[in-house]
Amino acid sequence: MNAPWRAFLDRYPASCRPTSPPRPLGNAGGLSGARLWRFDSGRGSLVARCWPEDGPDLARLSGIHAWLAGAADLGFVPAPIPTLDGRTAVEVDGRLWEVAPWMPGVADLGRPPAPGRLRAGFAGLAAFLARLGPAGSVGPSPGLAARVAEIDRLLLGDFGAIRAAVDRAPADECSTLARAWLDRAIVLAPRIGESTRKAAGRPLPRQPCLRDARPDHFLFDGDRLAGLVDFGAMGVDSVAGDLARLLAEWVGPDRTARAAALASFESIRPLSEAEARSIGAFESANALLGAGHWARWHFLERRRFDDDRAVLKGLRRGLERLDGATIGG
Using one digit for the tens of pLDDT, what is the confidence trace for 166-191?
Answer: 999 999 999 999 999 999 999 999 99
Q: How far apart are CA 189 and CA 70, in angstroms?
A: 40
pLDDT (mean) for 16-27: 86
Check residue 54 and give its pLDDT: 83
**CATH number for the 3-102 domain, one of 3.40.50.300, 3.30.200.20, 3.40.630.10, 2.60.120.10?**
3.30.200.20
| 168 vs 304: which has the higher pLDDT | 168
pLDDT (mean) for 137-145: 96
**Share above pLDDT 70 across residues of the chain, in percent, rounded to a whole number:** 96
pLDDT (mean) for 19-36: 74
Which secondary structure element, helix H or strand E, spans residue 100, and what is its range? Answer: strand 95-101
Output the CA–CA distances (angstroms, integers) from residue 159 to 72, 108, 177, 183, 313, in the order listed.
43, 35, 14, 10, 21
Note the pLDDT tens digit of each residue in 238-248: 999 999 999 99
Q: CB-based contacts of 64: which residues, under 8 Å, 6+ apart?
A: 56, 231, 232, 234
Check residue 29 and give its pLDDT: 47
Where along the chain do its domains lie?
3-102, 115-323
What number does CATH give the domain 115-323?
A: 3.90.1200.10
Helix axes 159-168, 173-200, angle to 10 degrees: 170
Q: Are 259 and 253 a contacting pair, CB within 8 Å? A: no
pLDDT (mean) for 10-16: 93
pLDDT at 192 over 90: yes
For residue 26, give the amino acid letter. G
Q: Which three-class secondary structure state does DSSP give residue 51?
A: coil
Note the pLDDT tens digit of each residue in 40-79: 999 999 999 999 888 899 999 999 999 999 999 999 999 9
Q: How far apart are CA 191 and CA 11, in angstroms?
A: 54
Q: CB-based contacts of 302: which residues, under 8 Å, 6+ apart?
A: none
Check residue 27 and give its pLDDT: 62
Q: Are 286 and 242 a contacting pair, CB within 8 Å? A: no
Q: What is the mean pLDDT of the chain?
A: 92
